[in-house]
Amino acid sequence: MKPIYILNGPNLNRLGKREPEIYGKTTLAEVEAWCREAAKNTPVEFRQTNSEAQLIDWVHEAIDEGSGLIINPAAFTFTSLALFDALKMFPGPVIELHISNIHRRESLYHNSLVSKTATAVIAGLGAKGYRVAVGALLGLLADAKIAA
């Protein structure tokens, strides 16, 4: 069975350690455990990087090896045309995930480039949004199998 990829961008390794009023108290290790639990027997590749090049290389790997993708690109959401180009090549469902509701925040957080390629966007559910995203991605993959 092909894995689902869950990719996380810059500074998300600090989750649960700084700015709990925005991002909550859950650590990324706890989020990973929730995602594995929610995915049941579907294999999960869960990763975090502070590097744009690494994130793009992992998107390429997910294109070749993965069935679906959940991505929290953090600041690269708003800045990276290279990430946008890579995501356009993903053949399956892509869920863009944000812990905070980016649309309620300052205007520099409003124009997501990633949303222009994503199948769906989840924002503002806190770290629990990852669990919701895994359930939604598995649903999209199941629907695609029925349609195929």
Active site residues: 23, 98
Phi (first) and psi of residue 44, to 5 degrees: -125, 130
Q: Which is nearer to ligand CA2, 28 or 44 (CB)?
A: 28
| Residue among 22 and 144 whose Cβ is closer to ligand CA2 | 22
* Cβ nearer to ligand CA2, comparing 41 with 107: 107
3-state secondary structure of 126: helix
CB 119 → ligand CA2: shortest distance, Å? 17
Cα three-residue angle 20-24-25, rounded to 5 degrees: 85
The answer to whether 124 and 101 are in contact (CB under 8 A) is yes
Tell the smallest beta-carbon distance from residue 97 to ligand CA2 (Å).
Answer: 7
Nearer to ligand CA2, 39 or 133 (CB): 133
| Min CB(4)–ligand CA2 separation in Å | 18
The radius of gyration of the chain's CA atoms, rounded to the nearest angstrom, is: 14
- Helix locations, the chain, DSSP H: 20-23, 28-39, 52-65, 76-79, 81-88, 129-147
Q: Interface residues with ligand CA2 (CB under 6 A)?
A: 11-12, 14-15, 18-19, 23, 72, 74-75, 77, 98-100, 102, 109
Q: How far apart, in whole angstroms, are the C-alpha atoms of residue 99 and residue 72?
A: 8
Cα torsion at 5, 133, 31, 42 (round to 10°)? -50
